[in-house]
């Protein structure tokens, strides 16, 4: 008899747990159905295809939701050190809270069962069950404003990658604990870090202070005309994606960082006339649901209709419906156990060349421009 085509998958086994299980054995032998199976598939996709040296995939990581306050910066740094992450797009809040850990400003395990008016009276801020003091916020702001007043600080209109690279370099030199900081290690390994909403965080609030109409003291000290121009970020991220052999996304949460990464493909074909074909690999870990209006920027299937995902690569997409703080330690530990380190792509120091390459590719297309002129023009806005 012919084998039933629907019964070609792995047989599901009922097994007793063994002592001293490693993560790889746990995932491969016990994650067999529902979202544990999706997490198994994500582990396989990341380790066997996205990080396969033959594919030479450029991997972008996006961060949304309160990830770094939960102490997850170190997990992300572990992948950055191995060359497994090539660029990052995050909410400004995640990058701001990442800085607390570099500076050894404390965050504490708290509880959600509390009267927040009482916390306010005691100078405590709550992120669900994480507590931090207003002193942690104020001292982080003090550090930020101090380094932005230094002569080495950038001036004028800059990309968010330049802003974050400068903060990261300062953390490497001046902070007591830079080894667990995303920003510090991104500066060390030349990994560009972007934020899709520069004003929507305390870093955005700190930058607003540099407006001479708001802060006369800063004007007297010469620290004026410093702001992030999102246009530069659109150009840089699109150039990174265009220059990649293959593109892979690891999306922690959804929201604006997810779409900012995914929109790079529509920017190339819709605005520049460059048909890249869509992203090749896609892993998202989320608790969102598409029935409420798009799963924070669409399921992989829906993204195909926008030209964001290569329709021929839908088999290489996985959505894991899980709490990030549960799934990510498993996914990342699996990969660290299975995959050897890759060479760093050093995209931060290559970004202008990538822009020039995008300019060349855009010639004789529906929209023509020059990277030098457009980039410099935007920096003056």
CA atoms within 13 A on the CB side of 111: 4
In whole angstroms, give the CA distance from residue 133 to residue 189.
31
Name the residue among 87, 80, 85, 83 with its Cα closest to residue 341.
83
Q: How far is CA 185 from CA 79, 122, 182, 349, in A?
A: 11, 34, 5, 15
For 136-182, list the strands marked E by DSSP: 156-158
In whole angstroms, give the CA distance from residue 283 to residue 332.
12
Q: Which two tokens stand for residue 240?
A: 């990174």
**Paired sense of beta strands 317-321 and 281-286, if any:** parallel
Assign residue 18 a region (left: φ > 0; alpha: ψ between -120 and 50; beta: otherwise).
beta
The catalytic residue positions are 308
* Cβ-based neighbour number of residue 31 at 10 Å: 19
Backbone angles phi, psi at 128, to 5 degrees: 55, -95
């Amino acid at each position: 008899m012919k084998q039933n085509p629907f019964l070609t998958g792995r047989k599901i086994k009922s097994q007793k747990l063994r002592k001293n299980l490693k993560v790889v054995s746990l995932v491969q032998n016990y994650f067999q159905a529902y979202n544990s199976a999706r997490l198994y598939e994500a582990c396989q996709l990341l380790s066997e295809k996205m990080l396969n040296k033959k594919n030479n995939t450029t991997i972008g990581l996006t961060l949304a939701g309160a990830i770094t306050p939960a102490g997850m910066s170190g997990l992300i740094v572990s992948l950055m050190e191995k060359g497994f992450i090539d660029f990052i797009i995050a909410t400004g809040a995640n990058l701001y809270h990442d800085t607390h850990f570099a500076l050894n400003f404390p965050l504490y395990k708290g509880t959600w069962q509390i009267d927040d008016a009482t916390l306010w009276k005691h100078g405590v801020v709550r992120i669900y069950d994480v507590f931090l003091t207003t002193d942690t916020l104020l001292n982080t702001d003090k550090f930020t404003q101090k380094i932005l007043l230094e002569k080495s600080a950038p001036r004028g209109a800059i990309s968010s990658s330049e802003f974050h690279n400068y903060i990261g370099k300062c953390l490497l030199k001046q902070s007591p604990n830079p080894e667990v900081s995303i920003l510090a290690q991104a500066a060390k390994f030349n990994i560009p870090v972007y934020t899709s909403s520069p004003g929507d965080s305390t870093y955005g609030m700190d930058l607003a202070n540099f407006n001479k109409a708001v802060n006369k003291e800063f004007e007297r000290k010469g620290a004026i005309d410093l702001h992030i121009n999102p246009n530069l970020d659109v150009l840089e991220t699109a150039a990174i994606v265009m220059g990649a052999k293959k593109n892979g996304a690891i999306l922690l949460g959804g929201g604006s960082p997810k779409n900012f990464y995914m929109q790079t493909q529509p920017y190339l074909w819709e605005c520049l006339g460059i048909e890249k074909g869509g992203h090749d690999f896609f892993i998202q870990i989320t608790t969102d649901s598409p029935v409420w209006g798009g799963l924070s920027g669409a399921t992989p299937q829906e993204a195909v209709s926008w030209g964001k995902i290569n329709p021929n690569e839908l088999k290489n997409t996985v959505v894991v419906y899980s709490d990030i703080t549960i799934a990510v330690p498993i996914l990342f530990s699996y990969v660290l156990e299975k995959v050897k380190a890759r060479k760093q792509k050093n995209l931060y120091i290559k970004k202008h060349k990538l822009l020039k390459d995008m300019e060349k590719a855009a010639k004789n297309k529906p929209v023509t421009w020059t990277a030098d002129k457009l980039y410099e023009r935007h920096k003056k806005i």
